[in-house]
Structure 1
Amino acid sequence: MNEPAVQPHPSPDKVEVSIHLDPDLLDQIKHLTNDPSKVIEVAIRQWLRNANSRDDDLTRNLQRNPPIPPRGEWND
C-alpha cells in the first residue's frame, strides 16, 4: 500500500492498531479525507454512542391498536 509522504506524529493519548479493510472501502474513505484513521475513529465513537439506542426490528416497541368499540357504537 502507498504510505503517506508525511507521517502524522503519534499522539501520547492514542493507541495504534492494525485493521484489515476492503480495498474498495478504503478508496471510498480516501475520497473523504487523507486521514482514514480519523474517519474510522469518528465512526466508532458514533457507533458506541448509539449502541444503547438501537433502532431495529428486535428493539422497537410495538404500538398498540386502539380498542375496538362495542358493536352498537360503530360509525357505519
Structure 2
Amino acid sequence: MLVLTRKQGQSILIHKDIEIYVSSIDGDSVKIGIRAPEDVVILRKELVDEVQANNVEASQFQHNLEFIKKIKK
C-alpha cells in the first residue's frame, strides 16, 4: 500500500490518465475529485461492501426458503 500526504489543490496520477486531487479540506473532512476516462468505473467502497453483504444475506435467505419448503411437505 502506498500512503501519500497531499495538500489542498495537489493531486496524484495513476496510470497517466487517472488523476485524484484534493479539492478542499474542512476539519477532518476531505473532498477529493477524480478525473478518469469515461470507461473507468468509480465506486465508493462502503457501497460496494454493503451490496456484497446484502448479496450474501440474500443468498442465505434463499437457502432458508428451500429448507422451509421441504419442511412443509
TM-score when scaled to structure 1? 0.30
- Greater RCO, CA 8 A, separation 6+: 2
Task: Say which structure is richer in strand.
Answer: 2
Task: Choose 1 or 2 for highest CA Rg.
Answer: 1
